[in-house]
Amino acid sequence: TSPKGTYGQLVYYVALALLTAILRHFTHIEIMSFTILLMNLVTPLIDTYIVRKPFGYKREKKAKEAVK
């Protein structure tokens, strides 16, 4: 599985590539299936924390800024 959002997919594929490169450097076995399984475990976290802001979203002003 892969993340639902565009930014989440970008993070997923970059992390997958980096993890694969790092593990291939330090091990001498085929590691691709292991990295895919690891990233599939991380996919729900990516979907939770990397969410695109809706179009027209405005941040709420803090109390000091609202008084002015």
- End-to-end CA gap in the chain: 49
- Decide if 25 contacts 2 (C-beta within 8 A): no
Task: Convert the pLDDT of each residue in 5-54 to its tens digit.
Answer: 888 999 999 999 999 999 999 988 888 999 999 999 999 999 998 887 77
Handedness of CA 29, 27, 37, 2 (dihedral sign): negative
Q: Is 0.85 topped by the overall pTM? A: no
| pLDDT beyond 80 at 59 | no
The domain ranges of the chain are: 6-52
